[in-house]
Amino acid sequence: MGRFHDRHHVWLRSREHGTYLQADLDDGSTLSLHSFCEAVRTAWTVHTIGRMLALHSAANGRYLAATAERFGLGGNRVILRDLDMFAAGWFPDMSASGDSIVLRHSSDQFLRAIDRGDGNGVTVEVSASRRANAHWVVEAIPSTDSIPRLPHIEATRHITRVIRFVRAERASTDGTFPHVAWACFEFTGRSLFNLRIELARRLNFAVASDAIMCVRAGFFGRLTPLVINLPDNNVTMEVIVVTAGTTDYKLLTTVTAFNKVLSLVIKEIVHMYSKEKLF
């Protein structure tokens, strides 16, 4: 596991192309490559399961997984999905040079970065381990003691008024939560702040509190803090609210876990605003 430490955050950079593996947030399931790394969508959280490695997006909590579906001539499609030990299980193997790794899927296929010109070039293939495009440089995302200030932004683009169902519950002090009788309601829009107001009213916590809204990818997926606006779709969301004093709260609020992700959100906003392309 060498370069992967449980619950830490990393970037995965293609050694051949110099671009970073990122989660596409609109549909929540596709991946692409991007040159800009200081963004929450390019951050991956390490989840070790024995000798096996799983990586879930710091943006939406979903896991990097391989499929049996062909993707052009470049191998099989790679997606983001709920945690499944077979589909989302990887084994990192060190390269001969020692400066990169190859990610071997549990099906003995290897993660590849293919430059197709449109950024959407991430696949798995059986015979790819010796190819340069199967080599990835693991970059640890540095810790931060403070969160950078958000600059004054005069205007943002219109946020789509999507409608979705939200199921929500509060985690108990031991980190568990019931699997039935969750609060269920219809929510309009993508605003994370408006969702917090609605959840505070329904689950009885203060809006201006330390409570953390989280999502998880499947029954066995780990909690991931919601730190950006909701995706532009109407897929039902399950939100778990973690409050101070609980086991999960202690894990989520370490300097290595929470400030780091919020810092990436601020940096991404600044970067996209400079290009007049706010998300």
pLDDT for the residue 145? 56
CATH of 163-274, one of 3.40.50.300, 2.40.440.10, 3.30.930.10, 3.10.20.90: 3.10.20.90
Assess whether pLDDT exceeds 70 at residue 140: yes
Indicate the domain borders of the chain: 9-140, 163-274
Render the burial of 214-235: b for 16+ CB within 10 Å, e for the rest. Answer: bbbbeeebbbbbbbbbbbeeee
CA distances (Å), origin 258, targets 21, 160, 164, 168: 21, 28, 27, 21
| 110 closest CA partner among 90, 124, 92, 94 | 124
pLDDT for the residue 150? 44
Chain segment 41-96, per-residue pLDDT in tens: 899 999 999 999 999 999 999 999 999 998 876 789 999 999 988 899 999 999 88
Assess whether pLDDT exceeds 80 at residue 124: yes
User: Are the CB atoms for 46 and 55 separated by under 8 Å?
Assistant: yes
Residue type, 36: F
CA distances (Å), origin 73, targets 69, 109, 124, 131: 11, 15, 11, 15
Please give the span between the terminal C-alpha atoms of the chain, in angstroms, as a whole number. 34
Mean pLDDT of 152-160: 47
pLDDT for the residue 278? 40
Strand 163-170 versus strand 237-242 pairing type: parallel
Render the burial of 145-165: b for 16+ CB within 10 Å, e for the rest. Answer: eeeeeeeeeeeeeeeeeeebe
Identify which has the larger pLDDT, 264 or 32: 32
Chain segment 159-202, per-residue pLDDT in tens: 456 788 898 988 888 877 777 678 899 999 988 889 999 999 99
User: Are the CB atoms for 116 and 28 separated by under 8 Å?
Assistant: no
Cα dihedral across residues 238, 244, 247, 253: positive or negative:
positive
Chain segment 17-50, per-residue pLDDT in tens: 999 999 987 778 899 998 887 788 899 999 999 9
Q: What is the pTM of this model?
A: 0.85
Task: Given CATH 2.80.10.50, say whether it is the number of domain 9-140.
Answer: yes
| 243 closest CA partner among 194, 195, 191, 207 | 207
pLDDT for the residue 257? 55
Cross-strand bridge partners of residue 110: 104, 125
Q: Residues of the chain with pLDDT > 90: what percent?
A: 39
DSSP letter string, 127-152:
T-TTSGGG-EEEEEPPP-SS-PPPPP
Distance CA 235, CA 221 (A): 18
CA dihedral 38, 42, 46, 51 (to 10 degrees): -130
Assess whether pLDDT exceeds 50 at residue 156: no
